[in-house]
Structure 1
Amino acid sequence: MNSTNTSWTETLYNIWVVGSKDIVDALKPKTTLINIVVVLALLVFFYWILSVRPFDKGVDVVVVPESGSSTFEDDIDLGDGVLIRFFPVSSVEEMRRSMGYSNLGLVVPEGFDAALEAGEQPVLTGYVNWFQRFKISELENQYTEQFSLALGQPVCIAIQGESIIPRTGTLGNEAAVAFHLVFVTFFMVISIVPFLMLDERKTKTMEALLVSPLSVAEIVLGKALAGMFYALVIGAGWFLLNHMYVVNWGMALLAFILIALFSLGISLLMGSLVHDRIKLSLYNLPVTILLIVPAFFAQESNTASGFRAYLEILPTAALSRLMNASLSVGITGIDLLKDLAISLGFTVLIFAAVVWLIRRSDR
């Protein structure tokens, strides 16, 4: 038992030695620092364009006219770029399913038109999406002011405390935010790890590691640890900015770890196969396009059958779906297991290929 514990302790120590060295070495080239700054800038930019959206003053409202009211049939232009667009539905349940990119769900009660004509201040029941739940008071004031201005007399928008949690597979901010994490994590790791391996070949560090008492698996895991450090940096930034979207934290963290591991596997594979900096830079682009760009359409149902079949087995699309599942409810057990199997299966195969390639280069 003691020898087993010692063996594990020594293995973990060896992995830590390789990983900690690579974490520091990765920061030495200026290009790495530039890449980190670029990815962090992309992180903030995507948050700004998806969640803050200061340029979009429009208000999309899904309306349930319980009284048959016709007040909210036509769009209302308040000027200064503020346009209130109405999308009528027949029930609250349909409204919940239709929120998507909309800002507000609104239930028009019985007697609303009569209350307006009598000069009273009617109350409208409002619903907002899950990610807006921390701004209910602010949104109540904003929408009350806008609708009072639109109708020419005071009305009250009372937003329910029960926010609308999106369903898995529906299009909305959540799908884009999930893809955003896949993109920035992959981009961060593939911008650092392969080039670190390239530099180690030039300085003969890799050769020194291969003739050291370290096993190939320890070397690979050490490099994965270094890449994981930078993946965690970008992941922490993503969760800090987008925490309001998360519904299931356990699944969100699991999905992120799988995203990071897959990104590390691809990056280590690229670093093992390509030994020229210019070629590596050139090959990174098509790899990113083939793996990452299609994942943007992971939640899109209106795609060609051939492309849909590709998305079904693409690991990055599976990872995007897993992350989206943590930002929503309703994923089936079969779909969850399928996406987990695809993600884990490809990741294990890629790491096995990396170990084989490095072991082969040692001969």
Structure 2
Amino acid sequence: MHLRSILAIARKDLIDTVQNKAALVVLLLPIFMAVLFSFINSLISGAPTRLLIYNPAHSPVERLVSAAFSGSTITHAASAAEVETAFGPDGTHKQSAYALGLIVPPNFESDLRAGRHPQLQLFINGDNLGTSQRALLTQALIDYGRQVVNPEPPLAVLTSTINPPQPNTFSENSKAFFIMYVLVMTIMNATGIVPGLIIEEKEKKTLRMLLVSPLSFGDIIAGKLLLGLAYQVLLLTIVFLIMQGFTGNLPWLLLFLLIGACLTNALGLLLGCLFNTVSAAGAAQGIITFFFIVPALFVGPLEQLVGGQSFMTIIKAIPIYYLADGIYKALTSQAPASLMLTDMGIVGGTTLLFCLLAVWSLRRQAMVVSSI
């Protein structure tokens, strides 16, 4: 393969795609979905998160807590007792104007650097924040301490919760669900990009012209896959920025997005080789879209509501379910590595299968074209 040839093919296809208004609308659909779902999530989330913080020494840990919420307002308490009074003892039920309270000791930073294991007091209002949000915030505070002192937990977080929430409610995980769903739909776009680029060469009778040029069949296919991957990276980045999706376990999330991109590009390549007309490939893409949309709907909050139903066995037989499940678990950081590896293994095995089928189809396609 030749890099310059591959880039030339990708550049040609980029120009053709931009000039094709119908294809451009389809490619931009995930952005419209991200804006819509962000609006819906803002309606569900309600008013800005109100924080009551006692921080006499102005520790930077206050900024860490505030940054954990997309919309937050901070009220500074005059004393630690003011925070304790606003929330009350752990497990009580009472009305509170604040979603979260924090007491930072006056000598917190100096004690942390000296290795004295200072204690932060965290107050959670279960009417506003869920169990997974509390766990993520507690871990973030401990990680903040580890930036100063590496060995062992450098600080203690004493947590009290009023109005204890029901675990894993839809309002608690709605943002993670919406982000996961849009990401899955964005990844799915490659099943329409790559086959369209290949079939276009067939319909315009330009494939044989390209093959008699210095370009190889591998250069042509690599250029089209490169463009498909570039679109995915661009769209995923835009969706992340719109939905503020950089939450949870980011390394696992990026890994699932990468293998998901490989899966859909391999599937798109297979479709492009199997079909000779856009209409036939479009019908197949419609069926494939169904197998992306439905499994993703039954991941997360909805799965917890209908988990005992018999049809979930059918849903879990679809490999895309494990891609959506892995992305959702990475966003919420609520699953051990063993479960994440199970999802990754199933998605990776499916990707390998599609790759092998695509390679076989490519060789067959090259033999047919070369014999004409």
Q: Same fold (TM over 0.5)?
A: yes
Asked whether the equivalents of residues 19 and 226 of structure 1 are also in contact (C-alpha less than 8 Å), the reply is yes
The separation in 1 between residues aligned to 2:361 and 2:217, in whole angstroms, is: 10
CA shift at 1:360, angstroms?
0.6
Q: What does residue 52 of structure 1 align with? A: 42
Residues 30 and 239, structure 2, Cα contact 8 Å, conserved in 1: no
Counterpart residue identity of residue 257, structure 1 = L
The alignment's TM-score, normalised by the length of structure 1, stands at 0.64
- Taking the aligned partners of 2:194 and 2:332, their CA distance within structure 1 comes to 32
Structure 2 distance, partners of 1:241, 1:105, is 23
- For 1:156 and 1:52, the matched residues in 2 are separated by 19
The residue number in structure 1 matching 2:364 is 360
Partner of 1:335: 339
What corresponds to 1:40 in structure 2? 31
Contact 1:132/1:244 (8 A) holds in 2:
no
AA partner of residue 175 (structure 1)? F
SS in 2 for 1:232: helix
Q: Is the 8 A contact 1:269 1:354 kept in 2?
A: yes
- 212-221 or 282-291: which moved more? 212-221
Distance 1:255 1:190 in 2: 17
Cα deviation 1:118-167 (Å, max 9, x = unaligned): xxxxxxxxxxx999624231799xxxxxx9xxxxxx97536236676458
In structure 1, the residue matched to 2:351 is 347
For the Cα contact (< 8 Å) 2:240–2:246, is it kept in 1?
no
The CA deviation string for residues 159-209 of structure 1, in whole angstroms up to 9 with x for no partner, is 2366764589945211232122101331x3233322222211122333344
Q: Tell me the distance in 2 between the aligned counterparts of 1:130 and 1:264.
A: 39
2:11 to 10, 20, 26: 20
CA distance in 2, matches of 1:105, 1:138: 6
Instruction: Tell me, yes or no, if structure 1 residue 268 matches structure 2 residue 269.
Output: yes
Aligned-partner residue type, residue 337 of structure 1: L
Question: Does structure 2 conserve the Cα–Cα contact (< 8 Å) formed by 1:183 and 1:292?
Answer: yes
Shift of 1:219: 3.5
TM-score scaled by structure 2?
0.63
**What is the CA–CA distance in structure 2 between the aligned matches of 1:13 and 1:345, rounded to whole Å?**
32
2-side partners of 1:261 and 1:201: how far apart? 24
1:133 is matched with which residue: 62, 69, 73? 69
Q: Match for residue 177 of structure 1?
A: 179
Structure 2, unaligned stretches of length 5 or more? 52-64, 77-85, 87-94, 103-121, 123-128, 137-166, 368-372
Cα RMSD for the two superposed structures: 3.7
Structure 1 211/307 Cα, relative in aligned 2: closer, same or farther at 3 Å?
A: farther
Alpha-carbon spacing, 1:219–1:304, altered in 2? closer, same or farther (3 Å): farther
Distance 1:337 1:208, change over 3 A: farther
Contact 1:295/1:317 (CA < 8 Å) preserved in 2?
A: yes
| Change in CA separation of 1:331 and 1:219 when aligned onto 2, cut-off 3 Å | farther
Matched ranges for 1:301-340 at <5 A: 301=304, 302-303=306-307, 306-340=310-344
Q: 1:273 to 1:158 in 2, by over 3 A?
A: closer
Q: Which amino acid aligns with 2:23?
A: T
Instruction: Please give the secondary structure, in 2, of the residue aligned with 1:133.
Output: coil
Contact 2:195 2:269 in 1 (8 A): yes
Give the match's secondary structure for 2:98.
Answer: strand
Which residue in the other structure is 2:298 paired with?
297
| Equivalent residue runs for 1:72-221 within 5 Å | 133-137=69-73, 157=98, 159-160=100-101, 165-166=132-133, 170=168, 171=170, 172-173=173-174, 174-186=176-188, 188-211=189-212, 214=215, 216-221=217-222
For structure 1, which runs of at least 5 residues remain unmatched after alignment? 1-9, 60-102, 107-128, 141-146, 148-153
2:239 equivalent to 1:235: no
What is the rounded CA distance, in whole Å, between the counterparts of 2:251 and 2:177 in structure 1?
A: 18
> For the structure 1 residues 211 and 43, does the alpha-carbon distance in structure 2 shift closer, same or farther, using more than 3 Å as the test?
farther
Separation in 2, partners of 1:321, 1:252:
11
How many residues are treated as equivalent by the alignment? 275
